[in-house]
Amino acid sequence: MASLNVAKQQLRSLMKQKLGAISYESAISQSSIVSKTLKTFKPYTEAKRISVYLSMPSGEIQTDAIVRDALESGKEVFVPYLHKNPLPSPDLPARVMDMVRLKDLRDYESLKPDRWGIPSIDPTTVYERQRIFGGPDAQHSDQTYLDLILMPGVAFDRDPKSGAIRRLGHGKGFYDYFINLHKAKLSALGMQEHPVLLFGLALSEQFLASPSEGSVPVGPLDQPLDGLVLGNGDVESPTENKTA
């Protein structure tokens, strides 16, 4: 496990330098392409309840246009909210992520940026909102689930052996923990046949297309993706192991 963490940190450091060299204009152009790609992308167009990360000002695909399109299309849009774990334990993370619903476009536009420049939910409004792990409340959060999660990441690649799309996050484990809880919730609701789709959004530079660019180290808790939408308009999908 120690060697895995070291490998992940080394790749994050390399990617930080790589992403720091990407111009603002390129990031905005690639973000526009991703947004346009999603508008005709079946997993997105058919999803009724989606989660979208709210982007940092640089270093990743900007999601403002995606959030606006999803709200204007009548989708239920959920965004990340970080809070103290209600199940304190030495074996569990101290802070975890839930997804809370945006009420409408006006609500989204009212969000204030946090210290990283990310639009953030006001904690005082969380209990008024529908959320994935909110429990029984007036918003029926206990029956709420997602169809699609659009995820950020630091780097992505394709496993040369399995063909799986692999993701390197920022190291906090928020998404992996959330996805496992979401799977458990679907099981409790008797909806095992309705898996949430996991798609990454990435600048072209974040996809390591060949071993010479590096590879994404993963452990048993890291979630493989159903696909990756890139800033050049390509959609990378998992492939079967042709040598098996």
Angle at 157 between CA 152 and CA 161, to 5 degrees: 140
Is 11 annotated for ligand binding?
yes
Q: Name the DSSP letter for residue 139.
A: T
Yes or no: say if 238 and 227 are a contact pair by the CB < 8 Å rule: yes
pLDDT of residue 241: 55
Distance, C-alpha 66 to centroid of its chain: 13
Residue 51 clears pLDDT 90, i.e. is over it: yes
Nearest of 200, 194, 186 to residue 238 by alpha carbon: 200
Q: Give me the domain span that covers residue 182.
A: 2-236
Is 158 annotated for ligand binding?
no
Residue 160 resides in a domain: yes
Residue 116 resides in a domain: yes
Residue 56 clears pLDDT 90, i.e. is over it: yes
Residue 244 resides in a domain: no
* CATH number of the domain encompassing residue 50: 3.40.50.10420
* CA distances to 20, 164, 228 from 41, in Å: 29, 20, 12
Name the pTM for this structure: 0.93
- Share above pLDDT 90 across residues of the chain, in percent, rounded to a whole number: 81
Residue 240 clears pLDDT 70, i.e. is over it: no
Is 39 annotated for ligand binding?
no
Is 156 annotated for ligand binding?
no
Is 12 annotated for ligand binding?
yes
Higher per-residue pLDDT: 242 or 121: 121
pLDDT tens digits, residue range 102-141? 999 999 999 999 999 999 999 999 999 999 998 888 899 9
Residue 53 resides in a domain: yes
Instruction: State the pLDDT confidence band at 211, using cuts at 50, 70 and 90.
Output: confident
pLDDT tens digits, residue range 173-185? 999 999 999 999 9
pLDDT tens digits, residue range 59-108? 999 999 999 999 999 999 999 999 988 877 777 788 899 999 999 999 99
Total number of domains in the chain: 1
